[in-house]
Structure 1
Amino acid sequence: MDIVCGLYAVGEALPTEHTLAAQWNVSRTAVREGLAILLGKGLIEARKKAGTLVTQRARWHLLDSQVLFWMRLADPDETYIRSLFELRLTIEPQAAGLAARRRTDQDLIRLQKAFDIMSDDRRTEETARRAEIQFHRALMAAAGNPMLLPLADSIEAAVVWANSYKTRRNISVRTSLDEHRMILDAVFRHDDAQARWGTETLIRSTLALTSPRPAPSAARGTADARIACHA
């Protein structure tokens, strides 16, 4: 998390295994295992005589589910959020169009169930937020293309971040029910053009609602990052 939060600069060496083990009160074996995970996800590299160094973000496996999770916890910056939504705009409307053409009855049942939970006023906001995630995962699955499924984590990351933003500002997840209903109806009718348009409308309206965010000062940004990373 410290790396994702920017507490270690690109090219900066991490503390030694002994120091990290003492800092986190774990064994050196656990530290090595953790470093191996970070190495495998592209966040660090090992160099002789230089130690373990933080790599540039361009080398990170940004679509890895765990990296996406870390980025979300670290209160990502404007560039990352915009990139995430641009990726979503590229992928999800096309997936929705495929879903409209290929969906099965079981796909439709899953979409309808998620939508019903989202729209039920008796449900808590947290339950509605989880249902929205399930709706979008079901939409990706209904596309019937296994190559799209690994990208579902990036869609979920964008949905979760947007919902977190709404929660902080007391905006109900149910504000997007009309767009979700439009997508569901289009998939039901096998209307691929309407499914694509409805999904793009939803994504653009969500992006407009959640941006721009005021940029924190450098000093405050560093302090907030430290709080977020060690909360």
Structure 2
Amino acid sequence: MGKTERIHQAIARTLGTAILAGQHKPGDSFEGEIEQALALGVSRTPYREAIRILVAKGLLESRPKAGTHVTPRARWNLLDPDVLAWTFAGEPDAGFVTGLFELRGIIEPAAAALAAQRRTPAQIDAMRASLDAMARHGLASDAGQAADQQFHLSILEATHNDALASLASSVGAAVGLTTRFKQRYHALPRDPLPDHIAVFEGIAAGDSAQARRAMEELLRLALADMAVVRA
């Protein structure tokens, strides 16, 4: 079963990446299950499971008699961690990247301000440990990137707001994917660690205004970095 699971997830990734890259347009049919499975070199069972995954993520719609079709983009669950990963597997649209940072700009500065009011000593320690790991490993490494993600997740957790914490998987995926994307063709244009330290200092000091401003600046500079590496 583990092998089958890996196969259908790989198929979902292949098809999902193709849909997100525009190789399959909204309204396009995904009929011919047998032929599609044969083309991919798999049996019908994992192919069907892959289609179910894509339906659950809003990329496909399957209805009796109408068949299976690519849905309009407005219905895609673009913040699903898998969908985000499939988007960044190719060349994400510049407008989408900007929109993702705009969304983070709404969520994360407010979360940093709340975290400054509500963080516990243990959460401050967790943030400090993430910063130490980022400094030790660097953001060019998997370990450094994981520490970066954990820093942002710790801030959401420190809000003690379940609704905000529920966004952790999407925010964490966005942080990791944009960091890796920035290094796909070039080294990081600058060291973002000082930006993270400024956010931490605001939260640790219990200064909501400082924490909010620092997070806004962190995101502004991160988006500017994206423009540099895509130029």
Q: In the superposition, relative to structure 1, how do residues 144 and 83 fare at CA in structure 2: closer, same or farther (>3 Å)? A: same
CA contact (8 A) 2:30 2:69 kept: yes
Residue in 2 that maps onto 1:217? none
Query: How far apart, in 2, do the equivalents of 1:146 and 1:159 lie?
Result: 20
The answer on 1:125 being equivalent to 2:140 is: yes
Measure how far apart 1:90 and its partner are.
Answer: 0.4
Unaligned runs of 5+ residues in structure 2 are: 1-16
Query: How far apart, in 2, do the equivalents of 1:59 and 1:89 lie?
Result: 23
Query: How far apart, in 2, do the equivalents of 1:64 and 1:124 lie?
Result: 23
The answer on 1:7 being equivalent to 2:20 is: no
The sequence identity of aligned pairs, in percent, is: 39
Residue in 2 that maps onto 1:110? 126
Query: How far apart, in 2, do the equivalents of 1:33 and 1:165 lie?
Result: 29
CA contact (8 A) 1:118 1:132 kept: yes
Q: In the superposition, relative to structure 1, how do residues 32 and 162 fare at CA in structure 2: closer, same or farther (>3 Å)? A: closer
Secondary structure of the structure 2 residue equivalent to 1:125 = coil
CA offset digits 1:95-118 (Å, max 9, x no partner): 011111100111111100000111
Unaligned runs of 5+ residues in structure 1 are: 215-231
- Which one of 54, 60, 65 corresponds to residue 38 of structure 1? 54
Q: TM-score, normalised by structure 1?
A: 0.85
Q: In the superposition, relative to structure 1, how do residues 199 and 124 fare at CA in structure 2: closer, same or farther (>3 Å)? A: closer
Residue in 2 that maps onto 1:221? none
Query: How far apart, in 2, do the equivalents of 1:47 and 1:5 lie?
Result: 24
Quick one: which amino acid aligns to residue 45 of structure 1?
E
Measure how far apart 1:48 and its partner are.
Answer: 4.7
Query: How far apart, in 2, do the equivalents of 1:91 and 1:14 lie?
Result: 36
Q: In the superposition, relative to structure 1, how do residues 28 and 165 fare at CA in structure 2: closer, same or farther (>3 Å)? A: closer
Measure how far apart 1:47 and its partner are.
Answer: 4.2
> C-alpha root-mean-square deviation of aligned residues, in Å?
1.9
